[in-house]
């Protein structure tokens, strides 16, 4: 048996390939949309991708199952669990086989057993793998978004991101039941999770790529809590803010994502088209480095530097999937990489791309250092807005700062003063620059970015 691991740092998402060397068949679990690396890896190993599956209808990225099946001719094995609201819309396609709890299928000599693990989502399943050529007991489990290293999947996404009121406590209690079920499984089982540190699908995911069930029984908090009500309270507490695009991903992955070959390449455009897009109210993302936007930018554009591994996530907070997106990129050589990262979260309508050369005769972004802010603090009317997550804010924040997580800013515009100085701050200056540019794009010109990070402002400014 051959096992290969693929990891997308921007999505903190893991994909796996299991191959039977004897028959040349391979299974891909939870593929992302850009499938070429799986195809190339299979070819390198002399394998054919014949089976494709996923643990659930994903919320944080566009599934690559349909794309991979289209490009390889492989068969998709998709969950038929959950209620009618979370069935795959393309499950009746000729290249799809639906599976339920207890079902098994073979990939050459490798037996794959389906286990229903509801909680993160209603239809969630995991896959227990046995290499029958040399063993009669399973080696490990692809756990998707049920079990991570040091954590388990959050059960509140359907409610928080998709608006399904009343589902998070039900999901938490289902997670409790599945944890009890996993306590009965052998400790030696390897655990291959669907996400790593940085994913919003849990609150404390570990950074190492895999674990064992025995280790998780010893150290994962989910396995230490015996009382169900206590477990539910723990699981629902302190979850990170789910990006707004998660709701769109559920819809896209349920219906079936568009094939990449059906999408048009964005047109190369100039400054007039960018200014027209701003005037029309479209989102124009300036993906250049922070210092370049700070020095000069086209008014109305939003700074989201593509240097961050979370670039697509931040774009996903603000993109309108019903209108076109426009981009300003450092060079044409960056277009493919940036467009690929955005299409990974379903941003398919990218109408135009301009390069950094068009940014002339723009305006600077107002900024402050921590020392300058310290000198202005005694002045009346100064408002500090901390755009970090709620948990970060609770751990330490500038005294008197108001917490509005970055992605929630658009829904709180009415709360932001327009007649006095407003300073945006975060842990590094990256998110607060996005926030400052976003507010200026919404017509608030009394805002400035605290460009220095927490290691500086925590020493210069009063904190609590």
Query: Residue 323 — very low, low, confident or very high, per pLDDT cuts 50/70/90?
Result: very high
| Residue 163 or residue 63, greater confidence | 63
For residue 218, CA distances in Å to 149, 204, 221, 224, 336 come to 12, 16, 9, 8, 44
Inter-residue contact 249 to 57 (CB < 8 Å) = no
Distance between CA atoms of 51 and 38, rounded to whole angstroms?
12
| pLDDT at 163 > cutoff 70 | no
- The CA-CA-CA angle for residues 318, 323, 325, to 5°, reads 65
Query: Residue 372 — very low, low, confident or very high, per pLDDT cuts 50/70/90?
Result: very high
pLDDT tens, position by position, 69-97: 999 999 999 999 988 878 999 999 999 99
- The CA-CA-CA angle for residues 54, 56, 62, to 5°, reads 75
Distance between CA atoms of 180 and 174, rounded to whole angstroms?
10
pLDDT tens, position by position, 335-371: 999 999 999 999 999 999 999 999 988 899 999 999 9
Residues composing the chain: 464
pLDDT tens, position by position, 204-248: 787 889 999 999 999 999 999 999 999 999 999 988 888 889 889
pLDDT at residue 243, rounded to an integer: 84
Query: Residue 167 — very low, low, confident or very high, per pLDDT cuts 50/70/90?
Result: confident
- Comparing 92-106, 108-122, 374-388, which segment has the lowest mean pLDDT? 374-388
Q: What is the number of H-type helices and E-type strands within the chain?
A: 15, 24
| Residue 360 or residue 166, greater confidence | 360
Inter-residue contact 191 to 147 (CB < 8 Å) = yes
State both tokens at 298.
């086209």
| All domains of the chain in start order, with CATH | 2-255 (3.60.15.10), 263-358 (3.40.250.10), 367-460 (3.40.250.10)
Strand arrangement, sheet containing 75-79: 2-8, 13-20, 25-29, 48-53, 75-79, 96-99
pLDDT at residue 29, rounded to an integer: 98
Pairing outcome for strands 422-425 and 383-386: parallel
- The CA-CA-CA angle for residues 10, 395, 199, to 5°, reads 20
């Amino acid at each position: 048996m051959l096992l290969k691991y693929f990891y997308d740092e921007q999505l903190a998402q893991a994909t796996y390939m299991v191959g039977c060397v004897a028959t040349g068949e391979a299974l891909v679990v939870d593929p992302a949309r850009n499938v070429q690396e799986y195809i190339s890896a299979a070819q390198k190993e002399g394998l054919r991708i014949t089976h494709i599956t996923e643990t659930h209808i994903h919320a944080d990225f566009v599934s690559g199952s349909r794309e991979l099946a289209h490009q390889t001719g492989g068969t998709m094995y998709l969950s038929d669990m959950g209620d009618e609201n979370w069935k795959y819309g393309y499950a009746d396609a000729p290249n799809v086989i639906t599976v339920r709890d207890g079902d098994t299928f073979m990939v050459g000599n490798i037996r794959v057993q389906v286990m229903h693990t509801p909680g993160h989502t209603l239809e969630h399943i995991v896959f227990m793998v046995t290499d029958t050529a040399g063993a009669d007991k399973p080696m490990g489990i692809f756990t998707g978004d049920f079990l991570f290293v040091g954590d388990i999947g959050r059960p509140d996404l359907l409610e928080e991101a998709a608006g399904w009121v009343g589902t998070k406590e039900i999901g938490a209690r289902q997670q409790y039941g599945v944890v009890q079920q996993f306590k009965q499984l052998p400790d030696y089982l390897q655990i291959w999770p669907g996400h790593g540190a940085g994913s919003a699908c849990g609150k404390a995911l570990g950074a190492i790529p895999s674990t064992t069930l025995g280790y998780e029984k010893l150290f994962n908090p989910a396995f230490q809590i015996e009382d169900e009500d206590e477990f539910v309270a723990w699981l629902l507490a302190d979850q990170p803010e789910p990006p707004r695009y998660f709701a769109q991903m559920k819809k896209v992955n349920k219906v079936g994502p568009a094939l990449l070959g059906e999408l048009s390449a964005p047109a190369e455009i100039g400054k007039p088209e960018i200014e027209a897009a701003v005037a029309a109210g479209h989102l124009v993302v300036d993906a250049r480095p922070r210092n370049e936007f700070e020095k000069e930018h086209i008014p109305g554009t939003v700074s989201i530097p593509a240097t961050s591994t979370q670039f697509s996530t931040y774009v996903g907070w603000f993109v309108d999937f019903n209108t076109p997106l426009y981009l300003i990129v450092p060079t044409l050589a960056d277009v493919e990489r940036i467009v690929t990262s955005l299409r990974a979260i379903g941003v398919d309508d990218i109408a135009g791309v301009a390069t950094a050369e068009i940014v002339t005769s723009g305006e600077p972004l107002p900024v402050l250092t921590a020392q300058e802010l310290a000198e202005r603090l005694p002045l009346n009317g100064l408002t500090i807005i901390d755009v970090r997550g709620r948990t970060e804010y609770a751990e330490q924040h500038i005294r008197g700062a108001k917490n509005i997580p970055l992605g929630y800013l658009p829904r709180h515009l009415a709360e932001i003063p327009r007649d006095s100085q407003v300073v945006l701050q975060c842990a590094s200056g990256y998110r607060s620059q996005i926030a400052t540019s976003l507010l200026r794009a919404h017509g608030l010109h009394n805002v400035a970015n605290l460009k220095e990070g927490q290691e500086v402002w925590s020493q210069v400014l009063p904190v609590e």
